[in-house]
Amino acid sequence: MTKEIAVIGLGQFGGNAVKQLHKLAADVTVIDINEDKVQDYEDYAVECIVGSATDEKMFKTIGIEHYDEVIIAIGEDIQTSILSTLILKELGVERITAKAQDNYHAELLRKVGANNILQPETEMGIRLANQLINMSIVDYMEISDDTAIVEYDANDIFINTALIDLGLREKFGLNVVAVKRNKEVIVPPDPQMNILKNDVLVIIGKIKNLNRFESKIIKPKT
Ligand code: ATP
């Protein structure tokens, strides 16, 4: 079934979300206070509204509670983003994703009931630092304060070793959830499978355990 998604705020973040949602065949409604911005996204949306993120009447008119997801992509104006989340919650919107500019903003959004909170600048900064310091990391995503999913370049781990022999679960409390091999993603991986050159291991676990694994197992680059 086609997903109906409303995106409020058409800056870099919101605008790119709209284009990608359109590409993925979602029905997108765009809302922004700035008429020029709304016009820029006409070709990507089924409905275009020049209006405020806190206009309860407008939300009622378009039946916002029937949308599968509402994305609030306003980072700078914290007050508006919080108020908008509150109004949408009260109108019965099931899923709200909101962009936060810092931890304080994220905490407030959590308190007023946003389901999914993104801090793109913070996340990109952490990801960049991890990639620069530990070159074995292909990608890194924190899924909570203490848990992350990390993709490791297997060339720096053990080639021609069976996954089970790495002992990741027993020694480090980590789980390999997938192995990327060429263009294929092997999910779940067979514990007996051998790690081959150029594989990428996708591992989930507590950040402190991932750090322990990195310091003990990953071969330093020469
Ligand atoms: P970016 O995604 O570019 O980093 P940002 O997080 O810095 O954006 P802003 O630039 O403050 O956020 O706003 C993003 C968009 O939200 C802009 O197009 C702006 O016109 C729109 N916007 C700001 N306030 C409101 C509001 N009250 N109602 C609707 N749209 C708004």
Which pLDDT tens digit goes with each residue over 168-202? 999 999 999 999 999 899 999 999 999 998 899 99
Q: Quick check: 50 and 35 in contact, CB under 8 A? A: yes
Q: List the one residue out of 212, 154, 213 whose CA is nearest residue 181.
A: 154
Evaluate: CB of 39 within 6 angstroms of ligand 1. Answer: no
Q: How far is the CA of 72 from the centre of ligand 1 (A)?
A: 9
Sheet holding 96-99, edge to edge: 47-50, 27-32, 4-8, 69-72, 96-99, 116-118
C-beta 79 within 6 A of ligand 1: no
SS3 117: strand
Nearest to 84 by CA among 46, 58, 121: 58
Q: How confident is the model at residue 144 (pLDDT cuts 50, 70, 90)?
A: confident
pTM over 0.85: no
145-161: b (≥16 Cβ within 10 Å) or e: eeebbbbbbbebbbeee
Res 219 pLDDT > 90:
no
Answer whether residue 122 shows pLDDT above 60: yes
What is the spatial order of strands in the sheet that 147-153 belongs to? 137-142, 147-153, 200-206, 175-181, 184-186
75 lines ligand 1 (CB under 6 A): yes
Closest-CA residue, ligand 1 atom 5, reads: 75
pLDDT of residue 205 exceeding 80, the answer is yes
- Pocket residue to mutate for ligand 1, from 18, 74, 76, 121, most atoms within 8 A of Cβ: 74
The Å distance, Cα 13 to ligand 1 centre, comes to 9
Q: How far is the CA of 43 from the centre of ligand 1 (A)?
A: 20
